[in-house]
Structure 1
């Protein structure tokens, strides 16, 4: 059964913004500044350029292939099924890790000490239930979460600019080329949500027109927000942001707006929920597409007759995310996620590069730049994350090889 085309341009932009303006914008500045020093804005520019190249590739592919599955479906059509499988597998494993990271971040802001794990588990279960009752409800909830998040960020920006003339931020260390690239990799993790729109291509109305516009609009909005937040963080905190676990709350506090700190905390928790909701939705659609082709168990290809959502896939994914929350930490989840996401976009650029001239919307050099950017950023990830990621990718490849061999027999 096909999925219903119910998402409008506004819905798609909201889902993209909900994915990008998530926990990353409230938490990434400390780790990023610790490695970039005074090169933070350069790192942000690099991450934004790579994200734009990848976004245009995703938009071009989604317009030509308006089906669920994102780059999994695109690479199957443009290159071959093996490339599609690797892309889909990288997306699923990377974004499942992202879900765990978002749930942990939500709990860090919203839960009292000692209650973070049960609150994170509850958040995953609750948002899985939202997804199981229809994609239009997902879009409605995401819009609300995005608005609350933007209100919190507006408070941070207003407080930061009001305090900037009198602020004495701690001096930043000099930037190094490797540090800037590593910071760009961290910041890219916070950006990488625009593909969520493409993975829902089977549920978007007028996809050839809506999906490219939604991806570019959502990315442009997210970049604007990130630039403003980066500037006020540097102006008010400087190097002190590197040691802060809640840098935006510290910006508000140092600006003398401490009475609004709870609002920022609420916005951070809300942003985490928005990203988690959109992530769960996108992974469910890619899992559905892979199960339809038997690259994952066909049991997961069932679409609910009443609500027209891949309910079995949603439930299985939520269960795995809860398992990761119970055993992993935030740093490990982010590193593993970045590895999978960057490989996913590498294949997206290769797929877009292969498209015919009559469906091409952007020049090929953008796809080349995006692929090189993904390779450059993935090379800066921690060694342990890269090794674990490589191992999990090989496990997936081994599973598909075994399935194909058994099918031939």
Structure 2
């Protein structure tokens, strides 16, 4: 395997995503910003309300990004989402700009860490920049070891941070002076909105973890949970923490105070409190830098894969980390620390994030309205499209409230990225985003490769917990042609259609045969080089999926590919005919993707061709802990108690059902009124716990 074709390791769980998301949120917004926010528009103690109002503007963004990341869990997060929805021009702007914003924020965090370290060691106050550079290199090395190592380090940092802040809040609520809150609800509405816009960016880091989507285990569950937990904890910390600050410190010591958190901690716990809050601040700034370097390094990787920047940055090390992308990120942070003042520039980069948030919310609308079948998010944003419209409007409104220098910075980044696209990228790429799928009048520019790419992601994500794959395969019909030679595709279609006709009463076997033959005639039943074919139909008016498996050791002669009539089509030794309801396209694609993953696995054909019978063929596609086949014997079998009554009265364990019954050499498709008989071979499927309970309760002594 070439170095740049290696894959990132999937090793991040919910706790890792939570720690990375929360760690990028709980930093300057807590330790530096409250005093400035309280004085900027004269809000005073009401700044607490501004922090709570600000989060409402972020909720649509979080919902939108959660949906995109579960549909397209790929490195680069915002870059990948924007590129695949709006095309490479917008992707270039979003990717380079987001990477730059993360790099600047990481540099700012390292400088903040250096200042707090200088409080403990004043002799190093003149060496903050060298200390910050060394810290960035150290964090880069941790990231190089593995994303999991960085995640574990992040969990320790966030654990220390949250613990100290919990002590700060619990000790501080008893020290709140009611007189300090006398004007808590007395504020001008415009001042509240302007201050909310100012503190909004405190929460924005929560979304950056989507850059690591490709390295997340079970991303459809892990990413939304990690982000939502982080958002909830951040809201609690900011709300209660700022309440303690303004309640403990009088108004005169509140306004414009950059060390408000430290002063409040000292007022509550004395010198011990000052040291504790300083330790929390150091942990917070290191966690921001650590998460920033980790997430930022995935942007050059993703853009390099797409030829937005040179391919060298796509290289994956033997550790499973993007080595050159990581080096680029650390070097760039070090250069910023040496030549620029990140504390001044980071505010400008924050405005660019608002611009990207608006694009991301719009991207959800584009992806949904494109009707691309491969777009299958495990989490769907509620209240579509109003949630996304609210996200676009709120992000642009907040962007309009920033200063002219921040707007100019965004404009410069956009122009530079557009020039880069025009001079370096445009002639190299021949693809477009999903937006071209939205409008029929742009159909000639439609990029068909996007659906193929998304289907590849479907295969990689795998099945969802409730997908009926095991039940479907356990209940499948099997046609075993063994070594019979000279069998053509039409004959096999006829045999499969006869089997489907017995299971699907709405359609006759002749109609199903006609549809399968037509599908092969228009090229929707390709055959792999190894000899696997997956003919499939989606039909109106049926309520469940059915599958027929066909084994032919000698091979079935397939019809020629209509797009390449002169090309020799290999014989098919494994054919899987799938029929599913037309109203659940995504489930249909996930089942096909799962089957494709199994047949592409090494050793499949060895198992397929050597299987002793139908049960062995089905077993290739089912997980042993979720399926069991039992031969119901005479009275000495505990399973005999299941005979003589309808299945609906059998009181099987919850989460377990009968998928297939073999009786006298014939297959019986079970239903609620099916009565099991002595001598039946019964296949049960269900959750592992249910199968284990079934064994304990009924199957003592069963084969």
Tell me the TM-score normalised to structure 1 length: 0.93
Distance 1:245 1:361 in 2: 38
Would you say the 8 A contact 1:15–1:142 is kept in 2?
yes
Pair 1:170–1:241, CA change in 2 (3 A): farther
1:114-125 superposed matches below 5 A: 114-125=126-137
Is 1:100 matched up with 2:112? no
Distance 1:57 1:348 in 2: 7
Is 1:186 matched up with 2:198? yes
Q: Which has the higher mean CA deviation after the structures are superposed, 85-94 or 278-287?
A: 85-94
Is 1:151 matched up with 2:168? no
Q: Which residue does 2:440 correspond to in 1?
A: none
The Cα shift of 1:385 comes to 2.4
Distance 1:373 1:234 in 2: 27
3-state SS of 2:74 partner: coil
Is 1:17 matched up with 2:37? no
The Cα shift of 1:35 comes to 2.0
The Cα shift of 1:141 comes to 0.2
Would you say the 8 A contact 2:358–2:392 is kept in 1?
yes
The Cα shift of 1:330 comes to 4.8
Distance 2:108 2:191 in 1: 23
Is 1:249 matched up with 2:262? yes
Is 1:362 matched up with 2:382? yes
Distance 2:15 2:348 in 1: 31
The Cα shift of 1:170 comes to 9.8
Q: Which residue does 2:443 correspond to in 1?
A: none
Greater Rg over alpha carbons, structure:
2
1:2-401 superposed matches below 5 A: 2-36=7-41, 37-38=43-44, 39-111=46-118, 112=122, 113-165=125-177, 168=180, 175-239=187-251, 240-304=253-317, 306-356=318-368, 359=377, 360-363=380-383, 364-401=385-422
Distance 2:194 2:314 in 1: 38
Would you say the 8 A contact 1:338–1:378 is kept in 2?
no
Distance 1:378 1:260 in 2: 37
Would you say the 8 A contact 2:8–2:215 is kept in 1?
yes
Would you say the 8 A contact 1:100–1:333 is kept in 2?
no
Q: Which residue does 2:473 correspond to in 1?
A: none
3-state SS of 2:75 partner: coil
The Cα shift of 1:223 comes to 1.1
Would you say the 8 A contact 2:104–2:345 is kept in 1?
yes
Would you say the 8 A contact 1:128–1:315 is kept in 2?
yes
3-state SS of 1:20 partner: coil
Would you say the 8 A contact 1:93–1:340 is kept in 2?
no
Would you say the 8 A contact 2:117–2:282 is kept in 1?
yes
Distance 1:302 1:372 in 2: 39
Q: Which residue does 2:457 correspond to in 1?
A: none
CA offsets per residue over residues 134-187 of structure 1, 9 Å max, x none?
001011000000011112212321342121147757978964455433422332
Would you say the 8 A contact 2:36–2:258 is kept in 1?
no
CA offsets per residue over residues 376-407 of structure 1, 9 Å max, x none?
11122222222123212211211111013564
Pair 1:405–1:201, CA change in 2 (3 A): closer
Distance 1:172 1:117 in 2: 40
Q: Which has the higher mean CA deviation after the structures are superposed, 254-263 or 25-34?
A: 254-263
CA offsets per residue over residues 195-253 of structure 1, 9 Å max, x none?
22211110001111211121111111111111111111121225322232211110022
Q: Which has the higher contact order (CA 8 A, sep 6+)?
A: 1
Would you say the 8 A contact 1:12–1:211 is kept in 2?
yes
Would you say the 8 A contact 1:153–1:229 is kept in 2?
yes
The Cα shift of 1:313 comes to 1.0
3-state SS of 1:193 partner: helix
3-state SS of 2:205 partner: coil
Distance 1:238 1:287 in 2: 47
The Cα shift of 1:89 comes to 2.0
CA offsets per residue over residues 241-295 of structure 1, 9 Å max, x none?
2232211110022235332211110110111000110111111112211111121
3-state SS of 1:205 partner: coil
Would you say the 8 A contact 2:52–2:235 is kept in 1?
no
CA offsets per residue over residues 78-127 of structure 1, 9 Å max, x none?
23222222221221111111111111111111123322222222221211
Distance 2:176 2:401 in 1: 33
Pair 1:330–1:171, CA change in 2 (3 A): farther
Distance 1:47 1:256 in 2: 30
